[in-house]
A and B are shown apart, each in its own frame.
Chain A
Amino acid sequence: MSILVGEDTRLAVAGLTGREGSYHAMNNRRYGTNVVAGITPGKGGQDVEGVPVFNTFRQAVAETQANTAMVFVPPRFAADSILEAEDAGIATIIAITEGIPAHDELIVFNVLKCNPDVRLVGPNCPGVLSPGKANVGIIPAAFFKPGNVGVVSRSGTLTYQIGNELAQSGFGNSTIVGIGGDPVPGSSFVDIIALFEADPETELIVMSGEIGGSAEEEAAEYIAEHVSKPVVGYVAGLTAPPGKTMGHAGAIVSGSSGGGQAKIDALEAVGVRVGRTPTQVAEIAVEILRG
């Protein structure tokens, strides 16, 4: 098993006819992901390397039984595209687009909150990879192999760094989930950790956080009460100065909130071992896995 994406994934791609969208969707298909449809208003009836393009998500779902959406459209259209996928009955929506206005994300989050059957991952994320099964997004799959470590992260490249170090020690991944670096992510650490806890294939969970917001603190609370599997943590941005946005829109220490040390303290207080460098994270995970 894996979480969110796997052998049952039937992927519809919003923005398939765009340069980035087609490049990554075709990469995903080569990996083995079942890419069944593209959505571009006005381009219905065309195809991209044999994948049919539809004008609306509703048509795509009706014709192809798509159950997963990948959103690759520019920021000004992305919130609309996510809401369209939800309206069409898609259960898993993965939004790669970076730069969506915060107020748009707020509307999307609050609409989707009313529909418990839908899960949004992202925006501003690298996607979801279940090694050996399916890849939806831009994660370079070559570095990962199937295994028992679930990884959830606010950062793409940092995930690759940690995953690669685990792979070099001989450990693979059940699923790798990039939840993204925006202030209002569709899925939080808590949401993804809950899925990993319920996934029989996942034996250990790595969560890679960063400064800004309070998602890591909320995860610590959740782990204390609901998680039986070992969790290894990391928090990036410990030395970042307050008031400066560090690349990710959500990575900012504002006033007394969002600081890295408080996140580490919260995680360690509930028994999560936190690595001080990505290498240490992999070392701790390996130590636990080798028991």
Chain B
Amino acid sequence: MDLLEYKGKQVLARHDVPQDPGGVATTVDDAVEIARGVGFPTILKAQVKIGGRGKAGGIKVANSLDEVREHATNILGMDIRGHTVRELWLQRASEIELEYYAAVVFDRSAKAPLVMLSTQGGMEIEQVAAEHPEALATLHVDPLVGFQPFQARRLAYEAGVDEDVIRPVGAMLATLYAAFVAEDATLVEINPLVVTPKREVVALDAKVTLDDNAMFRHPDNAGLDDSSEADPQEAMARQRGLTYVKLDGDIGIFGNGAGLVMSTLDVVAHAGGAPANFLDAGGGAKAEAIAASVEVILSNPNVKAVLFNVFGGITRCDEVARGIIDAYEILQPTVPFVVRLDGTNDVEARKLLADANLPHVYPETTMDGAAARVVELARSTEGAPAP
């Protein structure tokens, strides 16, 4: 789960990470009220989960309530690379003397947390690594031992941190590491980490990603999830406990097992089509769950045809066939279905489908053949009048 900046700040505040106070607004009037409280100059920051907010005009400084009103009006509702701004973070604009960068990353390849510190903050870390490698220090932490004070010193000296702030920068790193572990985070990134003219070290930004699998340990964090408002199909799928990701194309995909579904997307693309979604019905899916999945797929108005690609292991193909038949009868779809069922009870499944004799349901025996068929059907319904 990726958190919006202000929610990341909330999580880090629990661990006493030094940050400036502020507030979040969803309306222009709220923004003005918060600005009145924090004072001027006030910085307004669009809350979206994508980089490049500043360049897109999503971050502005205001020196009066009128300017707050003007900027808030412009930013709220703004589209930043496909993300609509619904919330604004406002705080007193910090006095900045230096911009550093700090992060703790879950490094899958090394099987260890990676701590990074740079004296070139405020730009993308990939750019720092390419252009100023001498200003970036990194090290891996043994998760069984934890982050040690000497490691903080090593990073600070290697990155070239000003001598007088080595102690507070080290303390910041230790705090970020503690938050990373305590919150089951996979990313804690502060960019920029600023040094003020009073030589205080403050986290100006917060990018935090939490591990969904660890939510049972953090019931408080469940409320930080705002993905439900993102997309109607994804919200519907979530309610039904399905693994669904919306994509840009027009071919609905139903499959079992993440790898097989990913492969199905690729094979459809290979055949010249564009998938409308990823949907993994999981192992052992029963007829009702299958009907529920089909409803989610069809609720996307872009879908022109649906491909069912199932290899039955624990999942029984006859259950899948029953689910498809149920869904068909309830939903009366106007788009064609291509069905390829292989594996456990596939013979019964094919017989069930044949006996049901549903219009616009096309059985296929191979994955490649099914992909070619569904692409052809999606094309042939293009330009057809809406039902």
**Interface set of A (CB-CB < 8 Å, partner B):** 75-76, 99-104, 106-107, 109-111, 113, 126, 138-140, 142-143, 153-161, 164, 181, 183-184, 208, 210-215, 218, 234, 236-241, 244-251, 255-256, 260, 276-279
Q: Known contacts A100-B213, A138-B283; is A248 also within 8 Å of B259 by CB?
A: yes
Please determine whether B111 and A110 come into contact, CB atoms closer than 8 angstroms.
yes
> Which residues of A have CB within 8 Å of B113?
106
A225 to B214, CA, bound (A): 38
Q: Which residue from B109, B243, B311, B366 sits with its C-beta under 8 Å from A279? A: B366
Segment at the interface with A among B64-72, B191-199, B264-272: B264-272
With A238-B266, A247-B280 in contact, is A106–B143 under 8 Å at CB? yes
A283 to chain B, nearest CB (A): 11
User: B245 — which chain A residues lie within 8 A by C-beta?
Assistant: 241, 244-246
Contacting residues, chain A, for B326 (C-beta < 8 A): none
The answer for the CA separation of A169 and B241 in the assembled complex, in Å, is 38
CB-defined A-B contacts under 8 Å, sample of 22 = A101-B211, A101-B217, A102-B211, A104-B214, A140-B313, A140-B344, A143-B343, A155-B257, A155-B263, A156-B283, A157-B260, A161-B342, A164-B311, A181-B259, A214-B109, A236-B263, A236-B266, A237-B263, A246-B258, A249-B212, A250-B108, A279-B367
Chain A residues with Cβ below 8 Å from B213 are 75, 99-102, 249
A99 to B212, CA, bound (A): 9
CB within 8 Å for A236 and B262 given contacts A110-B112, A110-B142, A160-B313: yes
A76–B312 alpha-carbon span in the complex (Å): 28
Interface contact A241-B247, CB-CB below 8 Å: yes
Complex alpha-carbon distance, A168 and B286, angstroms: 28
Given A107-B144, A157-B260: A218 and B280 within 8 A (CB)?
no
CA–CA, A260 and B262, complex, Å: 11
Q: Which of A99, A103, A210, A247 contacts B278 (CB 8 A)?
A: A247
A102-B214, A157-B255, A244-B278 given; 12 more Cβ-contact pairs under 8 Å? A102-B184, A103-B181, A155-B258, A211-B262, A215-B109, A236-B259, A239-B265, A239-B275, A244-B245, A246-B262, A277-B267, A278-B263
Whole-angstrom distance between the Cβ of A281 and the nearest chain B Cβ: 10
A138-B283, A184-B111, A279-B368 known; A161 vs B263 contact (CB < 8 Å): yes
How many Å lie between the Cα of A113 and that of B111 in the bound state? 10
CA distance A159 to B313 in the complex (A): 10
Q: What is the minimal beta-carbon distance from A248 to any residue of chain B, in angstroms?
A: 4
Please indicate the chain B residues that have their CB under 8 angstroms from the CB of A159 in the complex: 259
Query: Across the interface, which residues of A come within 8 angstroms of B269, CB to CB?
Result: 238-239
Q: Judge if B3 is at the interface, Cβ distance under 8 Å.
A: no
Residues of B within 8 A of A256 (CB): 126
Query: Whole-angstrom distance from the CB of A184 to the nearest CB of chain B?
Result: 6
Measured between alpha carbons, how far is A158 from B343 in the docked complex, in Å?
12
A113 to B110, CA, bound (A): 12
Cα(A211)–Cα(B261), bound, Å: 13
Q: Mark B193-211, 1 if CB is under 8 A from A, else 0.
A: 0000000000000000001
Q: How far is the CB of A190 from chain B (nearest CB, A)?
A: 12
Residues in A neighbouring B356, C-beta threshold 8 A: none
B66 to chain A, nearest CB (A): 38
B91-135 with Cβ < 8 A to chain A:
106, 108-109, 111-113, 126
Q: A158 and B260 in contact (CB under 8 A), knowing A103-B184, A110-B112, A183-B106? A: yes
Smallest Cβ distance from A236 to chain B, in angstroms? 4
Q: Does B354 contact A (CB under 8 A)?
A: no
Query: Knowing A102-B184, A139-B313 touch, does A164 contact B342 (C-beta < 8 A)?
Result: yes
Q: Which of B143, B257, B259 contacts A103 (CB 8 A)?
A: B143
Taking a contact as CB atoms under 8 Å apart, the answer to whether A240 and B181 are in contact is no
Q: Are B270 and A276 in contact (CB under 8 A)?
A: yes
Contacts of B217 in A (CB 8 A): 76, 101
A126 close to B367 (CB less than 8 A):
no
Given A156-B257, A277-B367, the answer on whether A102 and B262 have CB atoms closer than 8 Å is no
Residue B42 CB within 8 A of the other chain? no
In angstroms, Cα B211 to Cα A208, docked, is: 25
Contact A110 B313, beta carbon cutoff 8 Å: no
Inter-subunit contact A110/B144 (CB<8 Å) = yes
B233 interface residue, CB < 8 Å from A?
no
**Residue ID in chain B nearest A251 by CB atoms:** B258
User: B293 contacts the other chain (Cβ, under 8 Å)?
Assistant: no
8 Å CB contact of B311 from A104, A111, A161, A251 = A161
Q: Cβ of B347: which chain A residues have Cβ within 8 Å of it? A: none
Taken together as a complex, chains A and B put the C-alpha atoms of A45 and B111 apart, in Å, by 39
Say how far A235's CB is from chain B's closest CB, in angstroms: 9
Query: Chain A contacts of B126 at CB under 8 A?
Result: 255-256
The 6 A-B pairs with the shortest beta carbon distances in the complex, nearest first, are A155-B259, A247-B258, A157-B257, A158-B259, A101-B214, A157-B260
Distance in Å: Cβ of B188 to nearest Cβ of chain A:
13
Cβ contacts under 8 Å, B181 to chain A: 103
B144 near A111 (CB under 8 angstroms)? yes
Q: Given known contacts A244-B245, A277-B267, is B260 in contact with A161 (CB within 8 Å)?
A: yes
Q: Which residues of A contact B278 (CB under 8 A)?
A: 240, 244, 246-247
Q: How far is the CA of A215 from the CA of B111 in the complex (A)?
A: 12
With a 10 A CB-CB cut-off, give which of B217, B255, B260, B263 has the most chain A CB atoms: B263
Q: Which of A111, A158, A184 contacts B257 (CB 8 A)?
A: A158
Residues of chain B from 331 to 385 with CB closer than 8 A to chain A in the complex: 342-344, 366-368
Minimum Cβ distance to chain A for residue B14 (Å): 17
* A240 surroundings in chain B (CB, below 8 A): 262, 265, 278
Query: In the complex, what's the smallest C-beta–C-beta distance from A172 to chain B, in angstroms?
Result: 17
Residue in chain B with minimal CB distance to A163:
B311
Closest residue of A by beta carbon distance from B245? A244
B13 within 8 A of A: no
Expressed in whole angstroms, the minimum distance between the Cβ of B359 and any Cβ of chain A is: 29
Return chain B residues, CB-CB under 8 Å to A181: 258-259
Q: Evaluate contact between A160 and B343: CB separation under 8 angstroms.
A: yes
A272 shortest CB reach to chain B, Å: 18
Whether A247 lies near B311 (C-beta < 8 A) is: no
- Across-interface contacts of A260 in B (CB, < 8 A): 266
